[in-house]
């Protein structure tokens, strides 16, 4: 497991919510130093602490683990499917044409 990637995701989520390390640490009942160690990748939090951090940041665990999970492509596929289902059929067809072109360019296939 890459603790640095997880720590960076926690840090990014914390900053996106405008929280300081001290504020997040207080919400999770850990020390700011321990949170700093987690964000730097020097420490891996216990499961309970990880869940508390995710809850305090109001993000799901997959968001914090996406870079380290082997199933991250499945997570991305699920997210894409959810977004597509919110579109009208015409918008879905238009987006599919755009994706087809992008995939052709990326793979060199026509």
Write out 17-73 in H/E/C secondary structure: CCCCHHHHHHHHCCCHHHHHHHHHCCCCCCHHHHHHHHHHHCCCHHHHHCCCCCCHH
pTM above 0.85, yes or no: no
pLDDT tens-digit readout, 6-40: 999 999 999 999 999 999 999 999 999 999 999 99
Q: What is the per-residue DSSP string for 70-108?
A: TTHHHHHHHHHHHHHHTS-HHHHHHHHHHHHHHHHHHHT
Domain carrying residue 95: 73-107
Instruction: For residue 52, count other CB atoms closer than 10 A to its CB.
Output: 17
Judge if 88 and 59 occupy the same domain. no
Judge if 49 and 80 occupy the same domain. no
Judge if 26 and 80 occupy the same domain. no
């Amino acid at each position: 497991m890459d603790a640095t990637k997880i720590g960076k995701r926690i840090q990014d989520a914390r900053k996106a919510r405008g929280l300081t390390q001290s504020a997040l640490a207080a919400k999770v009942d850990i020390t700011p130093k321990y949170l700093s160690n987690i964000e730097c990748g020097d420490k891996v939090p216990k499961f309970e602490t990880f869940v508390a951090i995710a809850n305090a940041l109001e993000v799901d665990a997959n968001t914090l683990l996406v870079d380290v999970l082997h199933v991250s492509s499945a997570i991305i596929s699920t997210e894409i499917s959810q977004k597509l289902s919110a579109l009208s059929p015409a918008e879905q067809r238009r987006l599919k044409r755009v994706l087809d072109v992008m995939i052709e360019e990326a793979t060199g296939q026509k």
